[in-house]
Structure 1
Amino acid sequence: MTSADAMLRGVIPPVCTPMTPDYQVDAVSLTRLVDHLLAGGVDALFVLGSSSEVAYLTDAQRRVVLDTVVGHVGGQVPVLAGVIDMTTPRVLEHVRVAVEAGVSGLVATAPFYTRTHPAEIRTHFRTVAVRGGLPLYAYDLPVSVHTKLSADLLLELAGEGVLAGVKDSSGDDGGLRQVILRREAPFSVLTGSEVTVDSALWMGADGVVPGLGNVDPHGYTELYRCASRGDWEAARVEQERLARLFEIVHVGGTRMGGSSSGLGAFKAALHLRGVIDCPITALPQVPLNDEEAGRIGKLLASAGLL
């Protein structure tokens, strides 16, 4: 991947990880999902992120995902790999495996579990970039890692050539705008919010990494195309349709955690659409029941997807 390629734009869905009923990676369904996303016109794929259930996968399962997706894509689009773990030594082992698998770029969060200082976060990203030798994208995910990546830190590392971009899942629109306004070096700004993509693109973001894009990749590529040609009214209409569809993540309600409800909804929708064979999520997530799957089906139908 050249430095020009590292300036990612467009729709880069974080690919779900289909599983068999005995909680193994379902490689057949995974390749079918990849074909579904490519047919939807996506610009790149991001494996082993939050929507991939990366926190639940063993190292062996992560390797199956990497080999399956990179091998099946065959260079049609860039494949980014999450190298997400608690500390630098653990992340570097994931980096080694991802590079061996032939990915185009790496995605890392700040270290977590341990209490970190910005100086340590800088060292973390610098070390991962040097050892990886590939474009490195920061994943700003404070809800999970309990550290917010500041605009100052991101732009400092961008200026050094350490970071090629950021996936912003912080929910901090003001911080996102600061990064967009102040960036000087080539630096991809990608929103992780499924429901405010039109707003982020209008501010100057370069693209979106939408978990819901697994379910409706065509919708997000259409939204991006509308924004790219300056048709903001059409972009708003498509965004509102997707925002209504996003209600599937709340079907699980209060009887389960947000991960169970959200990831379970994506997988249930993919199962209902005939893309994956089984909607199971990794333990200890609570599965959706038949009534909840039925409600997801109605939302899919309302969005024109069934």
Structure 2
Amino acid sequence: MTSISTPATWLAGYIPDIPTPFDDNGSVDLAAFARLCEHQINAGVSAILVSETSGEASTLTSAEQERIIRAAIETAHGRVRVIAGAGSNSTRHAIELTQRAEAAGADAVLSVVPYYNKPTQAGIHAHFRAIAISSALPIILHDVPSRTMRELSDDTLLRLADSRHFIGLKDATGDITRLLRLRSQLPAGFRLLSGDDATALPFTANGGDGCISAVSNIAPELCQSIFSNCRSGRPQTARYLQSRLAPLIAALAKESPAALKYALCLLGFMSPAVRLPIVELADAAKAEVASAIAAIGDEDIACPVEIQHGRLHEDSLAHFQAQRG
């Protein structure tokens, strides 16, 4: 578990927002989940995020979230940091989730701006401060106005960032100008990460520290290469690699996380099952995802051994094979 006094040097690059697999009975499939985590660890990520947006956290019970966090920590075995989603529109519940994550051994939590309630900036500040004083875990703030209907204003962010409890921001606004405004005003070591795969490259090129990503679940090595080329002063190579991922990023964004789960099903990692109110993809969307994956190429898409033994849904496999000829 990471202390709040430890600089978050590991909070950089592409960090996957890992989905939660479900089995045929609708229960969490911890074996498939461990496989997803291991795939990312082998690809060289510095951290993994679990039980958050892609993980359908809003449909998980507190006990399920705790089991998922513990499974991630057991799989990581100290090789990477584990960030636990612990957000809620109830401050009391967010505190409970944060404390559960701490007890389970998480290295940090990701805490989203309270949704649905439409709090004022004063309320948002008080919400996060209450969470901070309840736990010794470092907190990464999550600003995603398209889901919460309330933004984390620049002023509120700067006030929170003055506290050592807050180590970074997942910015899912897609607004690159915000990064340019904030970078020089934030404390040294405070990490700014994109939460939007489509704009992650310009975000990083303009001083961002990386991306908390959905597409990294599919092509982690390619994502890491985009980041390293951008940071090493090879923008043309980074742009080329990003262009190869663009159709898949667009397909995943349309119906997340169902599209992500379907993509991982095609690759043999998990079932495409989701929990209501999310439903599985229609055939046209399935074809779009399969086509986008096929276009990337085998050399940048890794599959687990199980794919060789036919552990895919028949309709998914048919779409995939049709796209690859």
Q: How high is the TM-score relative to the length of structure 2? A: 0.86
Residue 291 of structure 1 and its aligned partner are, at CA, apart by 5.3
Specify the SS of the correspondent of 1:132: coil
CA deviation digits over 1:33-78, x for unaligned, max 9? 0111112221101111111111121222212211111111111111
Residues 1:86 and 2:86 are matched in the alignment:
no
Corresponding residue for 1:273?
Answer: 267
Residues 1:146 and 2:149 are matched in the alignment:
yes
Residue pair 2:18, 2:55 contacting (<8 A) in 1 also: yes
Letter in 2 for 1:178: R
Counterpart Cα distance in 1 of 2:277 and 2:198: 28
Any unmatched runs of 5+ in structure 1?
A: 251-257
Counterpart Cα distance in 1 of 2:289 and 2:61: 29
Residue 247 of structure 1 and its aligned partner are, at CA, apart by 3.1
Q: How does 1:229-268 map to 2 (within 5 A)?
A: 229-249=232-252, 258=254, 261-268=255-262
Residue pair 1:19, 1:281 contacting (<8 A) in 2 also: yes
Q: From the superposition, tell whether residues 185 and 123 of structure 1 become closer, same or farther in structure 2 (CA, over 3 Å).
A: farther
Specify the SS of the correspondent of 1:262: coil
Counterpart Cα distance in 2 of 1:147 and 1:213: 27
Counterpart Cα distance in 2 of 1:21 and 1:264: 16
Letter in 1 for 2:120: H
Identify which range, 113-122 or 45-54, moves more after superposition.
113-122
Corresponding residue for 1:174?
Answer: 177
Residue pair 1:198, 1:232 contacting (<8 A) in 2 also: no
Residue pair 2:176, 2:202 contacting (<8 A) in 1 also: no
CA deviation digits over 1:59-98, x for unaligned, max 9? 2221221111111111111101111111211111101110
Letter in 1 for 2:175: D
- Cα RMSD of the aligned pairs, angstroms, is 1.7
Counterpart Cα distance in 2 of 1:264 and 1:116: 29
Percent same amino acid among aligned pairs?
Answer: 30
Corresponding residue for 1:37?
Answer: 40
Residue 4 of structure 1 and its aligned partner are, at CA, apart by 4.0
Residue 112 of structure 1 and its aligned partner are, at CA, apart by 2.7
Counterpart Cα distance in 2 of 1:100 and 1:19: 24
- Identify which of 12, 17, 30 aligns with 2:15: 12
Corresponding residue for 2:289?
Answer: 296
Identify which range, 90-99 or 178-187, moves more after superposition.
178-187
Counterpart Cα distance in 2 of 1:240 and 1:157: 36
Any unmatched runs of 5+ in structure 2?
A: 302-323
Of structures 1 and 2, the one scoring higher in RCO (CA 8 A, sep 6+) is 1
